Amino acid sequence: MTILITGAAGFIGANFVLDWLAQSDEPVVNLDKLTYAGNLETLASLQDDARHTFVQGDIGDAELVARLLAQHQPRAVLNFAAESHVDRSIHSPEDFIQTNIVGTFRLLEAVRAYWGGLPEDAKSAFRFLHVSTDEVYGSLGATDPAFTETHRYEPNSPYSASKAASDHLVRAYHHTYGLPVLTTNCSNNYGPYHFPEKLIPLMIVNALAGKPLPVYGDGMQVRDWLYVKDHCSAIRRVLDAGRPGEVYNIGGWNEKPNIEIVHTVCALLDELRPKPDANSYSAQISYVKDRPGHDRRYAIDASKIERELGWKPAETFESGIRKTVQWYLANPEWVAHVQSGAYRDWVQTQYAATAEA
Ligand code: NAD
Ligand code: TYD
């Protein structure tokens, strides 16, 4: 048996493949376009591992996907591939529409054709697992109950709107064609191999480089944070035992305002890599112009996956964030290599604009 994973050179997909092959000998075919966010160095330990086949390509390339499905006959397709950064979606939404909506549609079409030709037992055992986000549900008020799976879709950014559209397509392929789909909507992940355009790795990398730590607006926006390996274990559980057609929210029961996250990162760095002058990294915090349409609060009610599938996060935020900071301190080469020319151009565009508070 084999599984096909898309976008597994990115942050969560790569963590998923590393964990999968640490626990199972079932081979993985990894289809990834290698955009700026895809990095094969993360999977360097699998270079000579026959269980991992890497294919560079686009989920929207119907011919390529059809060929891979026919060749490898996977029992499941897991779709991690996406454009994933909200700020980039605000600057240039086009890629989000192409990959997250059109790409998911083309992938679904190729999978539907392949699945339709499988023998009955393989057909009913097949799964299409779509990895999505809590951002599709929009923004909560301070005292609103957390998002459940039946919460209305109210996406506010081009990123969340494109993910919402992909979720709807996945749902439709189940209801219309009977494709055995599973959808997961997860909160903000953090952990090893996280591209340093997102809040937590950006703060670690900037702090160590002596640069400002840019906090948008008043820093009181709330996110639920989940250690990436817990997200991976939840996806494995949903793949094993989730009911086709169902949606599972995944979260860490860990809501925190951004400014508290930044102070926690600074305190850990003060402890693990104190500055020579003994000042705190928190002196580098700099409030900048807010993100347009910035969602105020996300919170996930993850009781369905716990009740029905017995999944709960293993890490607390305290243990997960410590591991994360330690990982970045131990892996400066990985960080240096992803900070390519394209990364530097992005940082310049984004933070030159936000500095105009
Ligand atoms: P990421 O940006 O780090 O990685 C995305 C990967 O997809 C990259 O390797 C990229 O090369 C690849 N890719 C992009 N377009 C592609 C295309 N057209 N065809 C093939 N590959 C393509 O993203 P991530 O943080 O690892 O997120 C993975 C998935 O999880 C996404 O679908 C995202 O919406 C979802 N998600 C992310 C978070 C989070 O906190 N990071 C939370 C919930 C859900
Ligand atoms: P991010 O990591 O981009 O994830 P998302 O927008 O998908 O939740 O941002 C997390 C939070 O941190 C979000 O409220 C925006 C905020 N943020 C900053 O304050 N400064 C930054 O430089 C970045 C990248 C994010």
Contact 247, 163 (CB under 8 A): no
- Give the model's pLDDT for residue 342: 78
Helix (H, G, I), strand (E, B) or coil at 279: coil
Q: What is the pLDDT of residues 309-337, one digit of tens each?
A: 999 999 999 999 999 999 999 999 999 99
What is the pLDDT at residue 347? 82
Is 221 close to ligand 2, i.e. is its CB under 6 Å away? Answer: yes
Angle formed by the axes of helices 258-272 and 199-208, to 10°?
A: 40
CB of 160 within 6 A of ligand 2: the answer is: no
What's the whole-number average pLDDT of the chain?
97
Instruction: For ligand 1, atom 12, name the residue with the nearest CA.
Output: 7
Q: Is 140 a residue whose pLDDT tops 80?
A: yes
- Active-site annotation, residues: 134-135, 159
3.30.420.40, 3.40.50.720, 3.20.20.60, 3.40.309.10: which CATH number matches 3-189+228-253+299-315? 3.40.50.720
- Nearest atom of ligand 2 to the alpha carbon of 188: 8
pTM: 0.97
Average pLDDT score over residue span 291-320 = 98
Q: In the chain, how many H helices and how many E strands?
A: 14, 12
CA of 188, nearest ligand number: 1
Output the pLDDT for position 357.
45
Q: What are phi and psi of 324, to 5 degrees?
A: -65, -50
**Is any ligand 1 atom within 6 A of the Cβ of residue 130?**
no
pLDDT grade, residue 355 (50/70/90)?
low
pLDDT value of position 345: 81
Q: What is the pLDDT of residues 172-193, one digit of tens each?
A: 999 999 999 999 999 999 999 9
**Which ligand is nearest to the Cα of residue 61, counting in written order?**
1
Task: Give the mean model confidence (pLDDT) for residues 42-48.
Answer: 95
Ligand 2 atom with the shortest distance to the CA of 215:
19
Residue 103 CB less than 6 A away from ligand 1: yes
Please tell me the distance between residue 106's alpha carbon and the centre of ligand 1 in angstroms: 17
Domain positions in the chain: 3-189+228-253+299-315
Assess contact for 34 and 60: CB atoms under 8 A: no
Q: Which atom of ligand 2 is nearest to the CA of 219?
A: 19
Mean pLDDT computed over 111-136: 98
Give distance in angstroms: CA of 307 to centre of ligand 2.
30
- Kindly report, residue by residue over 211-230, the tens digit of the pLDDT: 999 999 999 999 999 999 99
β-strand partners of 248:
184
Q: Give the residue-averaged pLDDT of 158-166.
A: 99
Q: Are 78 and 107 in contact (CB under 8 A)?
A: no
